[in-house]
Structure 1
Amino acid sequence: MTGASGPGTWPGHEPLEAQMVVLGDLSEVPEGVTGLPFLTQLSDRGPGAEPVARTAALLVEMPVEIGPHGWKLADHAGADSERARAFLREDIGALAIAAYEYAGPLTVQVVGPWTLAATVYLARGDRVLSDRGAVRALAESLAAGLAEHVRDVRAQVPGAELTVQVHEPLLGQVAAGVLPTFSGMSRLRPVDGPDLVGGLRPVLDTARDDGVTSVVHVGQAWVGIAPVVLAGADALGMDLGLVDAGWNATGWELIARAVERGTTFWAGLPPAAVSRCAGADVRGLADVVSVPWRRMGLPAAGLADVVLTGAGADGRGATTVSPAEVRSALATTVRAAAILAERAAD
């Protein structure tokens, strides 16, 4: 059945309220749709609650702290690390209450190793990305931390069928070598394809070993598709534009090849066009996936395996809308999934 989910970020300051809304709205879905509730991330609570800090808090034996340019590796754990871990414990506690006796799909989110390495700085130096040895250590540390995180979530929600959403919005910039150095006077060297694959594998292998489905979101970076597929991700996530503006024959060719290899497709939808008379253009959102899908000659029945998420599934987390607006967008995603499920049956 066609899936519907979200990126994990949610506005506000009340994790229990947010978690109950998400579980409720994605548990009661139309026939033909599978709702995939997610562990909410409330970045509005401040430093330590945003996705980068939340993922950095999972790192094993690699403490972090807030530095001049954001989060950086630290010599020892301090108040910044503890605050991030405390927010994560609070969110898992809220999940345990909201999902009491719940059994079914559930997704958790981490920032991927390449985006994390491109965002977090060394204790004394440039971005972690500038040191390939540090990148390898970070990927392995994240894999170990993810294994602990999965155990913690399963302990609170034993009936959960877990999927980990690995957000890699900077993967394309890492591959292109366009990220500035600390000084801003030059750019970090590009990372080639085999290294991109190798950096993703520790996290994806850990997920597989723990019986967790993995999906890697690459934002709008078509160049990220091949490394994600070759690294063994179960699913590929991409943010799509409207049909006319977002059509990219080369990109959709790569998506088609991934689907034909057995990789599930998670489509990040753009905001729906809204009219005063008809409301959100839900059919237009379904077209964002189904029209290019058919142009590429993919079987309509395969639309039943697609998962739709809301716009901006990049995992970096800034929220500028109200909970009501996000909830409305989530409902629109569910309705678009129902239309896609109907088209899969045609």
Structure 2
Amino acid sequence: MPGGDPLSPEADNARAYAEAVRTVFGELPDLRHVPELPGRGAIASMTGRALAVVDGLPADVQPAGWRLTDATGIDQRRARSLLAQDLDRVEEQAQGYAGPFKLQVTGPWTLAATVEKPRGDKVLADHGARRDLAQGLAEGMLAHVADVRRRVPGASELLVQVDEPALPAVLGGQVPTASGYGRHRVVQPPEASEALATVFAAVEEAGGVPLVHSCAPGFPIGLVRGAGARGISVDLAVLDAASYDPLAEAVEAGERVLLGAVPSVDPATAPTAKSVTERVHRLLEMLGLEPTPGLVVTPACGLAGASAAWARSALDLARQAARDVDS
């Protein structure tokens, strides 16, 4: 979601996050979640949030971005402190809530494509380092999911969204090297599946339901489901024909399927709830499917690039369309 500024006083960012939590809890009565405000800087980014959760792997922010280090740096400590503060505010608003609840974390392959090794270049370049990162994330998720479950005791179902926007690029050998002149080698599907399965298993052990989100073209739905994901979240704008069959299989299996049908940034012309509903119905008709309880209408991707006004409108549109799809 939008909000926050790395140059603003801490109190201003705290107020921005509290407002984001109130917006989520006000606009999404049936599926509330832990909002993210990456505009507050590196410690609140997708990568910073995940490294606040990762267990046993110290890190810090360097000029090129997040890097694994020999000892926990001040930025990782700040990321952990910020996450705990944000969860305190979520816990306050969650009092008395009963229903499904969602949190999210950056997945092992997007982390490997983003975080650097101690001596430079991405973790993705080192087989052992990327295995350690996946295991550290899995260990950290055991504690993190248990913490959120304690804070939101009324959650009937705890959905854990694993964000993997870089997964298609990792599988396709499209992640740039540090120099920018080359590309990292292709990661083969069996290794990609193994790392994902490690994280998914930890989520389930902690009592969560793992689902995977990617708004990048070429999202390997079959691979993530085979690794143990119990749900998927897709951007309808980049969904290709190769995704139709695995998407239909997920719907028919009764899994959570989040359909990104609402623009994530302020559109030139705002869609109506009716047009969003019709878009979802056209997809279901093409797949030969009927609406199921597991279908959820969402914004296409994160709302960090949206204005505060559009963020509220997008959530309201998603809520209205989800209601109309089921009717």
- The answer to whether TM tops 0.5 is yes
* 2:67 aligned partner: 72
Select between 76-85 and 154-163 the one with higher mean Cα deviation: 154-163
Q: Deviations over 1:267-303 (max 9, x none)?
A: 112429776xxx63222212332212211222x143x
1:158 aligns with 2:160: no
Gapped runs of 5+ residues in structure 2?
5-12
**Within 2, Cα distance between the matches of 1:77 and 1:111?**
19
**Within 2, Cα distance between the matches of 1:135 and 1:230?**
20
3-state DSSP class of the match of 1:141?
helix
User: Of 180, 188, 195, which aligns to 2:191?
Assistant: 195
1:84 aligns with 2:79: yes
1:330 aligns with 2:315: yes
Report deviation, 1:188: 0.3
Q: How does 1:115-130 map to 2 (within 5 A)?
A: 115-130=110-125
User: Of 259, 262, 266, which aligns to 1:267?
Assistant: 259
* 2:169 aligned partner: 173
* 1:49 aligned partner: 44
Q: What letter corresponds to residue 97 of structure 1 in structure 2?
A: E
Preserved contact between residue 240 and residue 288 of structure 1 (Cα < 8 Å): no
Q: How does 1:1-346 map to 2 (within 5 A)?
A: 9-12=1-4, 13=13, 14-27=16-29, 35-160=30-155, 161-241=157-237, 248-271=240-263, 280-298=271-289, 300-302=290-292, 304-313=293-302, 319-342=304-327
Preserved contact between residue 247 and residue 292 of structure 1 (Cα < 8 Å): no
User: TM-score, normalised on structure 1?
Assistant: 0.85
Report deviation, 1:260: 3.4
3-state DSSP class of the match of 2:33?
coil
Report deviation, 1:155: 2.3
User: TM-score, normalised on structure 2?
Assistant: 0.90
Q: Deviations over 1:18-46 (max 9, x none)?
A: 2122112212xxxxxxx211111122222
Change (3 A) 1:247 1:128: closer
Q: Deviations over 1:184-223 (max 9, x none)?
A: 2211001111111111011111111222111101223334
Preserved contact between residue 218 and residue 225 of structure 1 (Cα < 8 Å): no
Select between 201-210 and 248-257 the one with higher mean Cα deviation: 248-257
**Within 2, Cα distance between the matches of 1:321 and 1:209?**
35
**Within 2, Cα distance between the matches of 1:68 and 1:250?**
39
**Within 2, Cα distance between the matches of 1:252 and 1:47?**
36
**Within 1, Cα distance between the matches of 2:2 and 2:32?**
12
Q: What letter corresponds to residue 288 of structure 1 in structure 2?
A: R
Q: What letter corresponds to residue 241 of structure 2 in structure 1?
A: A
Q: What letter corresponds to residue 319 of structure 2 in structure 1?
A: V
3-state DSSP class of the match of 2:158?
strand
* 1:4 aligned partner: none
Q: What letter corresponds to residue 221 of structure 2 in structure 1?
A: I
Q: What letter corresponds to residue 213 of structure 1 in structure 2?
A: V
Q: Deviations over 1:46-100 (max 9, x none)?
A: 2201121011111111011112321111110121111111110110111121112
3-state DSSP class of the match of 2:210?
strand
Report deviation, 1:261: 4.3
Q: What letter corresponds to residue 285 of structure 1 in structure 2?
A: V
3-state DSSP class of the match of 1:285?
helix
3-state DSSP class of the match of 2:170?
helix
RCO higher in 1 or 2 (8 Å CA, sep ≥ 6)? 1
Report deviation, 1:225: 1.0
Q: What letter corresponds to residue 186 of structure 2 in structure 1?
A: P
Report deviation, 1:101: 2.6
**Within 2, Cα distance between the matches of 1:341 and 1:105?**
17
3-state DSSP class of the match of 2:113?
helix
**Within 1, Cα distance between the matches of 2:219 and 2:46?**
23
**Within 2, Cα distance between the matches of 1:85 and 1:210?**
19
**Within 1, Cα distance between the matches of 2:149 and 2:75?**
26
**Within 1, Cα distance between the matches of 2:100 and 2:261?**
20
**Within 2, Cα distance between the matches of 1:258 and 1:98?**
32
**Within 2, Cα distance between the matches of 1:247 and 1:174?**
18
Gapped runs of 5+ residues in structure 1?
1-8, 28-34
**Within 2, Cα distance between the matches of 1:247 and 1:224?**
11
